[in-house]
Structure 1
Amino acid sequence: MMQHLTVVDHPLVQHKLSILRQKDVSTAGFRRLLREISLLLAYEVTRELELTTMRIQTPMCEMDAPTLEGKKLALISILRAGNGLMDGILELIPGARVGFVGLYRDPETLKPVEYYYKVPRELDARMTIVVDPMLATGNSSVAAIDMLKERGAVNMRFLCLLAAPEGVDRMREAHPDVPIFTAALDERLDDHGYIVPGLGDAGDRMFGTK
């Protein structure tokens, strides 16, 4: 059984994350670092992909070579900030199917509100990786995974850049069968639902809208 929370403590991930957190990093620099980190995180989150073998011909001889089994995996971005993680993962897995769940957080209740949903078919036959840079309250993530399970997804992972203990607990309570992969487990949430020490609003910093 895969553990519920995996913090990817690879030195390159941690070093790049420390630069990314700094408030004076440019929009272009933020995007570049986020793409680089997401590519590294993708190695960990896809570690359990199933393999089979196929017969190939090398310059020397024939061999049974390992290859991915089953349908191509599905990457689901929680809009809008999830798209920043998507770029790096697609560099590593360009054949992945891609879907989008549009949710925004009501500033008063901190509850998620759906405004868009479009995902690949046959989620029941695909590993599905849900991406969102920040696992803060966990409300949006839980809502997105609820929606995906309703459409048949069963083999899921959640990938984020930063997680707060409150969000991890909320996810564990609602979806204990969905492992979380993150670059860091931060201290707490502030009164506005932002992760501390965090890095601010990932969407604003990524798109230059702050």
Structure 2
Amino acid sequence: MRLHVADHPLVAHKLTILRDERTDSPTFRRLVDELVTLLAYEATRDVQVEPHEVRTPVTTTTGVRMTSPRPLVVPILRAGLGMLDGMTRLLPTAEVGFLGLQRDEKTFQAVTYANRLPEDLTGRHVFLLDPMLATGGTLVAAIDYVFARGAREVTAVCLLAAPEGLRVVDDAVGDRVDVQVVVAAVDERLNEKAYIVPGLGDAGDRLYGVV
């Protein structure tokens, strides 16, 4: 597994406001959108491209374009939905799938409750969106799910990660270079309820309210 922590003052600034318990939902949603666009820039650094010839108003030149098949962006419901616009702003030609995974609050294990993904992901670069990498169980389940369908590479984009969760993901995927995790910050630890400390609370609730 490759880990990339986005070390940028704008990332740290926006993350600080997200952590503040006084930040209301509309502001929280806007900042998540902005922060994910910054993370997406880092997450797409290794996206595959191929040479492509174009004619400018002056002459002909060779640039690049993304290869086929197109990348697939997969927000993990429900909190991952708040990251979708920020990611697709940078990847407007990507397709979008949805995966519903939620943590059992007693066992802390991931349970699948919804799936809107193509059956065949052969050769696809899949971007998984989940704000909080806490215990790691949800992300491991999602990674296994898309690799089982033929994905070529997986990049997880998260706002925060806990060291415990990163270890779980690293133990699950080992030295695979086709798995990358991009985060804004790695926090201190998990508490007894498996929440990230200092964290920012429940991302889904802060995005959409308590349901």
Instruction: Identify whether the pair has TM-score above 0.5, normalized to the shorter chain.
Output: yes
RMSD: 1.3
Larger deviation, residues 99-108 vs 22-31: 99-108
Distance in 1 (CA, whole Å) between partners of 2:65 and 2:145 is 31
Segments of 4+ moved more than 2 angstroms: none
8 Å contact kept, 2:124–2:150: no
Q: Which amino acid aligns with 1:73?
A: P
Matched with 2:146 is 148
Alignment of 1:103-182 (within 5 A): 103-120=101-118, 122-176=120-174, 177=176, 178-182=179-183
Distance in 1 (CA, whole Å) between partners of 2:83 and 2:13 is 17
Distance in 2 (CA, whole Å) between partners of 1:56 and 1:21 is 45
8 Å contact kept, 1:74–1:120: no
Alignment of 1:192-207 (within 5 A): 192-207=193-208
* CA-CA distance at 1:154 after TM superposition: 2.7
Identity of aligned residues (%): 46
SS in 2 for 1:123: coil
For residues 34-83 of structure 1, the C-alpha deviation after alignment (integer angstroms, 9 at most, x for no partner) is 00000010000000012222221111111112222222101111111111
Matched with 2:87 is 89
* CA-CA distance at 1:121 after TM superposition: 5.1
Matched with 2:96 is 98
Distance in 1 (CA, whole Å) between partners of 2:61 and 2:119 is 34
* Structure 2 unaligned regions, length at least 5: none
Q: Which amino acid aligns with 2:50?
A: T
8 Å contact kept, 1:74–1:129: yes
SS in 2 for 1:12: helix
Aligned residue-pair number: 208
8 Å contact kept, 1:84–1:206: yes
Q: Could you state the TM-score of these two structures normalised by the residue count of structure 2?
A: 0.95
8 Å contact kept, 2:75–2:98: yes
Matched with 2:210 is 209
* Structure 1 unaligned regions, length at least 5: none
Distance in 2 (CA, whole Å) between partners of 1:120 and 1:99 is 8
Distance in 1 (CA, whole Å) between partners of 2:195 and 2:202 is 8
Matched with 1:10 is 8
Matched with 1:49 is 47
Matched with 1:183 is 184
